[in-house]
Amino acid sequence: MTQRRLRRASALLLAVLMLAMTACSAVDGPSTAGPTAASGLTRYRATFLELFDTVTVVMGYASDEEAFAAEVQTFRDELTVYHQLYDIYNEYDGINNIKTINDNAGGDPVRVDRKIIDLLIFCRDMYEKTGGKTNVMMGSVLSLWHDAREDGISDPANAALPDGGELEEAARHTGFDLLEIDEEAQTVRITDSEASLDVGAVAKGYAVQRAAEAMPEGMLFSVGGNVCATGARPDTGEPWVIGIQDPRGDSSEYLLRVNVTDGSLVSSGDYQRYYTVDGARYCHIIDPDTLYPPAYWSEVSVLYSDSGAADALSTALFTMDMESGLELLEEFPGAVAFWVEPDGTTHMSPGFEERVAE
C-alpha cells in the first residue's frame, strides 16, 4: 500500500471508530474509558495495519486490559489466516492461496484450504444473484486498471486510462465458467491461462464476517470500511452508532449516523482508491458491462446481517441505477441501502431511515 493510500484509509477508519466511541460516552484517554457503573466493564480499543491492505480497529468491553488483548489477538490471528489465503499478490510458506490459483491458471487443479472453497462458492452465488455485477473473475481487467491507477498516482501529470483494446481483450477472459471448483477433491482450477481471480470486492467482508462469528457478543470491528458488530454495547444494551462519511468531505464529516447491533455497515465509493485523468475522477470499482468505473454514485452504503454479502452488495449497487439496485435488494431480506449521487443528493431504500440514529 502506498503511504498516501494508507494515510487516507487510516484517517477514514479511525474517524469512524472515534464517532462510535463518542456516541457511547466521553472517552478518557486514547485507548480506554473508565468502567461503567452498570456493567463493571472497561471500554478498550486496538488498532493494527497490516491485514487486507488497510487499517483494522477493534473495540470492545472487558474486565481488564489483558482480557481484551486476548480477544483482539484471537480476532487478529483468525483474520490473518483469511488475509493470507485470499491474497492475490503474495506467497506464504506452505500455503496455496488465491495467488497460487492464479499462477496455475490454465494448468492443473490446485488443492486449497476449505476456506477458499467456501469463499469461491459464496462468490459464485453472489455473481448469480447480482447478474454478474459482482464478478471475482474480473482479475484480467482489474489488473489493467490497478496498474494505470498506480502509475497515475505516482505521476499525475502523465496519468492515463488503460488502453481500450487491451480492456476488451482482457474482458474475454472473465467468465465465471472459467473457474472449476471441486468440493470433494478440495481443488480449484482456472481453465484459461489469461484469466485470474480478484476477490477484492468480497473477500474482506467475507473474512470479517467469519472472524467476527468466533468473537464474544458486544464487540465492534472496522476493517477498511467494513464495520461489523457482534451485538449491542455491553454497558448500556444500546446499538453502536456508526457514521457514514461524506464522500466529498474530510474524514471527520458525516452525512448521517446509523444504529448497528448485529450485522454490518459496508460502504463503497469513489473517494478512497481513485486517480484523476484530464480532470475526471476514476475509482477502483469497475462495471463488468462497460469495463469502466460507473458514474451513478459517489458512495453506496449497505446495512445487512452478513458482512460478506454487504460487501458484495455495495459493489454491485455502485454499478447500477437506483431502480435496478432496489430490485436487487429484494433478493436480500433485511438489507437496506443509502446512495449518494456525485452532486450530493441522497437516497434511502425502504427501511433505511428506521436505522438512522437520532
Q: What is the pLDDT of residue 225?
A: 77
Alpha helices for 86-163 (secondary structure H): 98-103, 114-129, 139-154
Q: What is the pLDDT of residue 66?
A: 93
Give the three cell numbers for residue 48.
493494527
Q: What is the pLDDT of residue 250?
A: 73
Give the side-chain half-sphere CA count within 13 A for 209.
Answer: 22
Give the three cell numbers for residue 58.
477493534
Q: What is the pLDDT of residue 27?
A: 22
pLDDT at 238 over 70: yes
Q: What are the backbone dihedrals phi and psi of residue 71, each rounded to the nearest 5 degrees, phi first?
A: -65, -45
pLDDT in tens, 169-227: 999 999 999 999 999 999 999 999 999 999 999 999 999 999 999 999 999 999 987 99
Rounded mean pLDDT, 272-287: 92
Q: What is the pLDDT of residue 249?
A: 78
What percent of the chain has pLDDT above 90? 80
Distance CA 179, CA 181 (A): 6
CB within 8 Å of 74: residues ≥ 6 apart: 214, 215
Q: Which domains does the chain have, with CATH numbers?
A: 98-190 (1.10.3980.10)
pLDDT in tens, 299-315: 999 999 999 999 999 99
Residue type (1 letter), 347: H
H or E segment at 81? Answer: helix 65-85
State the chain's maximal CA–CA distance in angstroms. 65
Q: What is the pLDDT of residue 39?
A: 59
pLDDT at 4 over 90: no
pLDDT at 253 over 60: yes
Distance CA 282, CA 261 (A): 34
Rounded mean pLDDT, 73-83: 96
pLDDT at 15 over 70: no
Dihedral angle, C-alpha 195, 201, 202, 207, nearest 10 °? 110
Given a contact cutoff of 8 angstroms between Cβ atoms, the answer to whether 309 and 342 are in contact is: no
Give the three cell numbers for residue 256.
448521517
Given a contact cutoff of 8 angstroms between Cβ atoms, the answer to whether 245 and 255 are in contact is: yes
H or E segment at 322? Answer: helix 322-329
Given a contact cutoff of 8 angstroms between Cβ atoms, the answer to whether 226 and 271 are in contact is: no
Given a contact cutoff of 8 angstroms between Cβ atoms, the answer to whether 261 and 56 are in contact is: no
H or E segment at 15? Answer: helix 3-24
Q: What is the pLDDT of residue 251?
A: 67
| 270 DSSP assignment | S
pLDDT in tens, 39-72: 578 899 999 988 988 899 999 999 899 999 999 9
Q: What is the pLDDT of residue 358?
A: 81
- In this structure, the chain runs to a length of 358
pLDDT at 19 over 80: no
Rounded mean pLDDT, 333-342: 97
pLDDT in tens, 108-160: 999 999 999 999 999 999 999 999 999 999 999 999 999 999 999 999 999 99
Q: In the beta sheet, which residues pair with residue 228?
A: 221, 264
Query: In the structure, what pLDDT confidence band is assigned to residue 243 with cuts at 50, 70 and 90?
Result: very high
Alpha helices for 191-297 (secondary structure H): 203-212
Q: What is the pTM of this model?
A: 0.86
Q: What is the mean pLDDT of the chain?
A: 88
